[in-house]
Amino acid sequence: MLFLIGLGLWDSKDITLRGLEIVKNSDAVYAEFYTSKLGVGVEELEKFFGRKIEVLKREDLEDKSYRILERAKKEDIAILVAGDPVIATTHISLLIEAKKLGIPARVISNASIINAVCALTGLQNYRFGKSATVSWQKSRHFIDVIKANLSIDAHTLLFLDLNPPMKICDAVEKILELEESLGKHFAVGIARAGSDNPAVKCDRLKRLVEFDFGEPLHTIVILSRRIHFMEYKALKLFASAPEELSEWVV
């Protein structure tokens, strides 16, 4: 059987009891950190879980996934993924392949960055639209997503490239290169969500580069043009939002 297990947000203690039980009882434990990362290394997980963990590369779960699926026909295989396992669409492909081969598979869900962002900013989950990724490669798809969300008054969660981890200042530069008008728009920068020392700051997008968010992992939310009054109160208290954000409250 194949288990895709979410590790949650930051370190060894963010796994669920159900996930840990499977890790302890599986015949082999793998992990991948190319779609999502934790705040700690694999050595800490190995020590804490008391299991040897083999770290997989992208090709191991894509072109060469038959190797792992072959093992999962006879053994219980756990694959650990930071955050929630199916936020990355590549793992849905693996579930599809397993299903076709008649291999039972189960996903152990966990918190992903979207959960943490709402906890840290007070933004309301149901007001988020589609999410998108700001990558080091040239692509303006995320600009289209931001605009689509703005057209229906929805916030946009932007994942920042992980290879290597992109910082908020890099991402702001990329956004403004493609769409300068977004500079005046309000946004929230979030660093190290789920850790003991997160950083959260709301300001006009172009001003976020002046704030020291510290080490990755970083994320940005582009706010909808209308903010709920409760969101405004929360952003003032939790993200030091400037007074002028009040003009956006409906």
Residue numbers at the binding site for a second copy (CB under 8 A)? 4, 6, 8-9, 12-18, 20-21, 84-87, 89, 92-93, 95-96, 99-100, 107, 109-112, 114-116, 118-120, 122, 124-133, 148-149, 151-154, 194, 230, 233-234, 237-238
Nearer CB in complex with a second copy: 156/185: 156
Q: Which of 143, 121, 112 is nearest to 217 (CA)?
A: 112
Nearer CB in complex with a second copy: 133/178: 133
Nearer CB in complex with a second copy: 153/244: 153
Rounded to a whole number of angstroms, the minimum distance from the CB of residue 75 to a second copy is 21
Nearer CB in complex with a second copy: 18/73: 18
> Which pair of structure tokens corresponds to residue 21?
């039980």
Alpha helices in 55-194, H assignment, sequence order: 58-61, 65-74, 89-100, 113-121, 141-151, 168-178
Tally of CB atoms within 10 A around 237? 10
Q: Which of 199, 148, 190, 144 is nearest to 171 (CA)?
A: 190
Nearer CB in complex with a second copy: 205/239: 239
Residues 56, 59, 64, 70, CA torsion sign? positive
Rounded to a whole number of angstroms, the minimum distance from the CB of residue 209 to a second copy is 25
Q: Distances in Å between the alpha carbon of 64 and those of 14, 41, 67, 94?
A: 29, 24, 6, 11
Write the Ramachandran bin of 233: left for phi over 0, alpha for psi from -120 to 50, otherwise beta: alpha
Rounded to a whole number of angstroms, the minimum distance from the CB of residue 193 to a second copy is 8
Tally of CB atoms within 10 A around 2? 25
Rounded to a whole number of angstroms, the minimum distance from the CB of residue 129 to a second copy is 5
Tally of CB atoms within 10 A around 177? 10
Nearer CB in complex with a second copy: 30/224: 224
Rounded to a whole number of angstroms, the minimum distance from the CB of residue 116 to a second copy is 5
Nearer CB in complex with a second copy: 7/182: 7
Rounded to a whole number of angstroms, the minimum distance from the CB of residue 130 to a second copy is 5
The 8-class DSSP code of residue 232 comes to H
Rounded to a whole number of angstroms, the minimum distance from the CB of residue 101 to a second copy is 11
